[in-house]
Structure 1
Amino acid sequence: MGDDQKDLESTLTPPAPTDDSGEGSSARRPSVDSDTRSHVGLLPNVDPDFAPNVAGLRRALSARQVQMIAVAGTIGTGLFLGTGKSLAEGGPASILICYSLVGFVVYITLLLLGEMATQYPVAGSFNVYANRFVDDAYGFALSWNYWFNDAVSVASDLTAAQLVLAYWTGWNLWLVSLLFLLFLLTVNSFHVKAYGELEYWLSFLKVATIVLFIILGIVVNAGANVEHRYIGTSNWRIPGAPFVGGFGGFARVFVTASFAYGGTESLGITAGETKNPSKNMPRVVKFVFFRILLFYILSILIVGLNVPYDYPNLSNRSTTTSPFTIVFALAGSRVAGSFMNTVILTSVLSAGNHALFAGTRVLYSLSVAKHAPKFLAMTNRHGVPYIALLCTASLSGICFGSSYIGTGVLWGWLQNIVGVSNQIAWVSIGLASLQFRRAWKAQGRDLHELKFQGARWTWGWGPPFVIVTVTAIILIQGWSSVIPRFSIVDFVSFYIELPVMLIFFVAWKLVHRASFVDIRTVDLRKDEHLERSEDHEDTAQRQKRMGGKQRWLWKAYYLIA
């Protein structure tokens, strides 16, 4: 299967721009020819007088890589570390209910996004869709909010690295954040395929470890633990459990659950760099979230059964111990706990890599759409928007404030900010989908023209459900910051994103006098993906594999990989 495996890794990369001497040029502004202007989906709303790089972004990510990118962006610090904070604040019943509810909401959101991303596979994804189908000012505010979300996520992951390392040592942990940041900058400076491969293998390690954790957790619960006792549901019956902190503790878990699930929507961010998007995006949407939901719910259940909510150092001002590490340690081996902690450290690295990639692409999209300075869209010879990359990484300096505030406290604040920002993104996907579907019906387009049919069953109720449910969660999750005692710092971390969004929206509205999009006249043909020869070749290659002598091996490969 060697040649076929090489085919799986192949990419279709256009040549880098050259100057008159034939040498590659990374910062020039060459003229734009007709071929570049027809590079469908990669440069939405591009100014025809300016293209920072003829090649633009590269469609070099395979379905295998895109699926794992979505998994990697979600299974990270939110699951491995956030569950400890959630368990300590809300109890085992609260985390199971909240993570299940948020998981269902995100699944519907993913279907809505998949429908639009398959039809219009553009860089910037739902930010572009909000701009196109809702309002230019709203799209502007949302894009900057999501860029801020990704940039803060990088800082959050670098802070989380310090928490993980505290399991072994407390020596100059800020140096780890610095080294991680330099490593992430290096990886993201190269071809997008380097990013995709790193994410694939780090994510594969995480998935394999979670499977091992689920098996080990069941065994530990059954009695194979250091105390040699059957645990069962005993941790649900200790004083204060299964609901800790009353309604405030329950509501507070929503934001950590939203932080944990955040990143799934970024599969749309990769749409502009996905090969054969008409076929691969539906596959990604179909398989990714079921895998994530399966891992999350089972993992949360096992964590709640095996780890008491009052476990020492589960979550405090300076320390947050992963419940995954605790379960491995309960098996009776310090080495097992260290192994799990090592995997969590690679997970932190993966999540930071993912956030830096997504934030860079959002800032690139903002520049191309003329919502940010033009120089931010300049790309190097690998097709990487390097100035946008540096700007996104610049906010990571927040993580170094942990030495003054307390690593656990700072990480909690950053987690709240990112969680609310994720929720705003989900509401915005619902709004964009609502307007997109209204426009589709108003202009008489047939539903069979949709390239992704997997979301047909949500027509009529999907977008309103997402909008109403997530808005309600945003409003109630900050309950504990107001009652029984008002905490200004916690309140700000829960709600600072809302006025910031409003300020950006109103400012753009006043300056540009932009009106809301008219669904009767919005161009539904623009940026629709037109399959090209390489797309047909990719489809034919897959059909050949699935119908050949080794079809069962390929079916197993596609199912696992």
Structure 2
Amino acid sequence: MEADRKNSQEKKAFDSAESNTTTFQTTEAKLYPSESRTSSYEKPPETEGFFKKLVNDFRPAPPTDRPDGVGLKRKLNNRHMQMISIGGAIGSGLYVGSGSSLADGGAASLVINYSLIGIMMFFTIYALGEMSVAYPIAGGFNTYAFRFIDPAWGFSLSWNYFINYFVTFPLELTTCAITFRFWSDINSAAWISIFLVAVIIINLLGVRAYGEVEFILSFIKVIATIGFIILAIIIDCGGVPTDHRGYIGGSIIRRNAFRHGFKGFCSVFVTAAFSFSGTEVIGLAAAETDDPKRTLPKSVRQIFWRIALFYSVSLLMIGLLISPEDSRLMGNQSGTSTSPFVLAIQEANIKGLPSVFNAVIIVSVISVTNTSTYTAGRTLHGMATLKHAPRVFLYTDRLGRPLFAMLVVLAFGFFAYINEANTKGNDISDTVFNWLLALTGLSNFFCWASICLSHIIFRIAFKKQGHTLDELAFVSPMGVWGSCIGFGFNILCLIAQFYVSLFPVGGKPNASDFFQGYLAAVVALIFFVGYKIYDRRCIPPLSQLDLNTGFHSAEFYNNYDEDHPRKERSKLAKVWSSCC
């Protein structure tokens, strides 16, 4: 009897432990099912060798219960998302593109317009953050446009956004090669090959490698920008002995604060908007974030302040140090000689530092190239989940790589070698790239406007279907009105782009300039109308919009938090987290 009683107690204890384990696994599976499942793919045999494992990693991902039904891995953590969010916006648009903006509109237009676009992004990113936490699914904001606005517009937006980064990839590879001409005139094909191989390797290593590379490159950009701001203040105050100008103060910025009148102001407005391209990438990365509830809000809150600091303050210093009349600002925008940051250091006759900052520009271009491949590949994969692209692009291997979508994007990088066609005064590559970029010249505005409009419709439908904001894990503090303001700003950007395309700065109206600036609108309209004819579904009323598929409520996240308690952070870590 005593033995039976002991065996009965042991069985109850075992059943209880097994029940607790099952409960834990079930809760984990509810949030991130694909990461909690076990399979022969995810846990290969111990005897599997390196080369066999390398080959097996390309096998299809195991079946997944994720709400979006895809095999992407949640490998990006908080620090990755922090740097991806800020690094996506700090690049050649700031370091190089601001030079032509300064020449076109003057220092005052430069600072005012970049600040205005920063405010627009403030509203847009918060709206994106709210939806990304509620729906951390493949395709991101393209999926939101498909679901909340109109399937036809979602189709048009997705393809326009994909082509934007698809074309940007080889263009940025060419820019990387041209940047090295600051030191020596080595054949561009050699540098293109080096950077192309590096980007291919990074992408083949998986999303974790992408996050680590972006973390390092973005950290370098942040430190370099802060260092430049400090140096620029010293130069302006006359603290550099090698600068023959001595104390500068506001003497330069007072001359030609505004140039080319209203037309110049509008041109800077458009260029400033393009400079913020990439900020929205965190919406795509949400599907591969390990903890969307904690990571995304933190990234959203900090991105505005960091960008506002880096853009507004650094460009103000550029306006204090470089005259808009400097002829070097209007050179070839692909060359680093037109970077106002490099010119500001050169004007102060500081030896060595121009080369250092030129290296930073190379880092920023590599970062943009890396982001372009990631964004284009994930967008194409997301379109396949919506049946907007061939189903072959749904394929993900066991490391979570959307393999075929990624390979198509990487293969287009070889298009950069067309740069070698520029011989004997022939500018074939420039012409080709200009018209390729014209296909997607407005994709940023379409994207940001769609994010704001999707958020407005989502909020209205959410309320109409009887839901409350308490069900959302993260709520945009500006609400619907913030998205309305952001949407209005994007409409103004489209109007400004139309005006500048029709009446280019320093030129007369002509068909070439107009279509290079506004061809993307025609392409988007063709995609929209074509899909509308193919799929004649009517837009469902707000009361019938699908708000459930892939929805992660506050309670949903709380259940996960209870089973995954976080370690108490030190006071130093809390201070660092609040500031960075």
Instruction: Describe the SS at the equivalent of 1:234.
Output: coil
Equivalent runs, 1:390-539 vs 2, <5 Å:
390-397=407-414, 399-402=416-419, 403=422, 404-405=426-427, 420-453=442-475, 455-459=476-480, 461-483=481-503, 485-529=508-552, 530-531=556-557, 536=562
Taking the aligned partners of 2:308 and 2:479, their CA distance within structure 1 comes to 19
Residues 140 and 508, structure 1, Cα contact 8 Å, conserved in 2? yes
Q: CA deviation at 1:486?
A: 1.7
The reply on whether 1:154 has 2:169 as its aligned counterpart is yes
With over 3 angstroms needed to count, the CA separation of the structure-2 counterparts of 1:20 and 1:427, relative to structure 1, is closer
The reply on whether 1:113 has 2:128 as its aligned counterpart is yes
The reply on whether 1:261 has 2:276 as its aligned counterpart is yes
The reply on whether 1:541 has 2:566 as its aligned counterpart is yes
- AA aligned opposite 1:345: I
Instruction: Describe the SS at the equivalent of 1:314.
Output: helix
Taking the aligned partners of 2:297 and 2:309, their CA distance within structure 1 comes to 19
Equivalent runs, 1:76-475 vs 2, <5 Å:
76-225=91-240, 226-238=243-255, 241-317=256-332, 319-320=335-336, 321-397=338-414, 399-402=416-419, 403=422, 404-405=426-427, 420-453=442-475, 455-459=476-480, 461-475=481-495
Residues 61 and 398, structure 2, Cα contact 8 Å, conserved in 1? no
Q: CA deviation at 1:413?
A: 7.1
What's the Cα RMSD here? 2.7
Instruction: Describe the SS at the equivalent of 2:330.
Output: coil
Identity %: 35
Taking the aligned partners of 2:211 and 2:540, their CA distance within structure 1 comes to 35
With over 3 angstroms needed to count, the CA separation of the structure-2 counterparts of 1:188 and 1:535, relative to structure 1, is farther
Q: CA deviation at 1:94?
A: 1.2
- AA aligned opposite 1:552: K
With over 3 angstroms needed to count, the CA separation of the structure-2 counterparts of 1:209 and 1:319, relative to structure 1, is closer
Q: CA deviation at 1:493?
A: 2.3
With over 3 angstroms needed to count, the CA separation of the structure-2 counterparts of 1:192 and 1:308, relative to structure 1, is same
With over 3 angstroms needed to count, the CA separation of the structure-2 counterparts of 1:343 and 1:534, relative to structure 1, is farther
Taking the aligned partners of 1:411 and 1:103, their CA distance within structure 2 comes to 28
Residues 98 and 340, structure 2, Cα contact 8 Å, conserved in 1? yes
Q: CA deviation at 1:312?
A: 3.7
Instruction: Describe the SS at the equivalent of 2:389.
Output: coil
Residues 127 and 455, structure 2, Cα contact 8 Å, conserved in 1? yes
Taking the aligned partners of 2:109 and 2:286, their CA distance within structure 1 comes to 35
Instruction: Describe the SS at the equivalent of 1:363.
Output: helix
Residues 137 and 514, structure 1, Cα contact 8 Å, conserved in 2? no
Taking the aligned partners of 2:218 and 2:357, their CA distance within structure 1 comes to 14
Deviation digits for residues 167-203 of structure 1 (CA, Å, limit 9, x no counterpart):
2223312432232122111101112111101100111
Taking the aligned partners of 1:30 and 1:263, their CA distance within structure 2 comes to 28
Corresponding residue for residue 552 of structure 1? 571
Residues 251 and 477, structure 1, Cα contact 8 Å, conserved in 2? yes
Residues 413 and 490, structure 1, Cα contact 8 Å, conserved in 2? no
- AA aligned opposite 2:369: G
Taking the aligned partners of 1:89 and 1:159, their CA distance within structure 2 comes to 25
With over 3 angstroms needed to count, the CA separation of the structure-2 counterparts of 1:176 and 1:537, relative to structure 1, is farther
Q: CA deviation at 1:298?
A: 0.5
- AA aligned opposite 1:326: L
Residues 13 and 59, structure 1, Cα contact 8 Å, conserved in 2? no
Q: CA deviation at 1:514?
A: 2.3
Residues 276 and 535, structure 1, Cα contact 8 Å, conserved in 2? no
Number of residue pairs aligned between Structure 1 and Structure 2: 524
Q: CA deviation at 1:535?
A: 5.1
Residues 501 and 518, structure 2, Cα contact 8 Å, conserved in 1? no
With over 3 angstroms needed to count, the CA separation of the structure-2 counterparts of 1:376 and 1:298, relative to structure 1, is same
Corresponding residue for residue 67 of structure 2? 40
Residues 61 and 400, structure 2, Cα contact 8 Å, conserved in 1? no
Corresponding residue for residue 3 of structure 1? none
With over 3 angstroms needed to count, the CA separation of the structure-2 counterparts of 1:334 and 1:479, relative to structure 1, is farther
Taking the aligned partners of 1:30 and 1:355, their CA distance within structure 2 comes to 24
Taking the aligned partners of 1:140 and 1:555, their CA distance within structure 2 comes to 43
With over 3 angstroms needed to count, the CA separation of the structure-2 counterparts of 1:334 and 1:70, relative to structure 1, is same
- AA aligned opposite 1:486: P
Taking the aligned partners of 1:537 and 1:329, their CA distance within structure 2 comes to 57
Corresponding residue for residue 22 of structure 2? none
Q: CA deviation at 1:154?
A: 1.8
Give me the TM-score of the superposition, normalised by structure 1.
Answer: 0.87
Moved more, 16-25 or 247-256: 16-25
- AA aligned opposite 1:492: F
With over 3 angstroms needed to count, the CA separation of the structure-2 counterparts of 1:508 and 1:446, relative to structure 1, is same
Taking the aligned partners of 2:501 and 2:62, their CA distance within structure 1 comes to 54
Segments of 5+ residues of structure 1 without an aligned counterpart are: 1-10, 44-55, 546-550
Instruction: Describe the SS at the equivalent of 2:566.
Output: helix
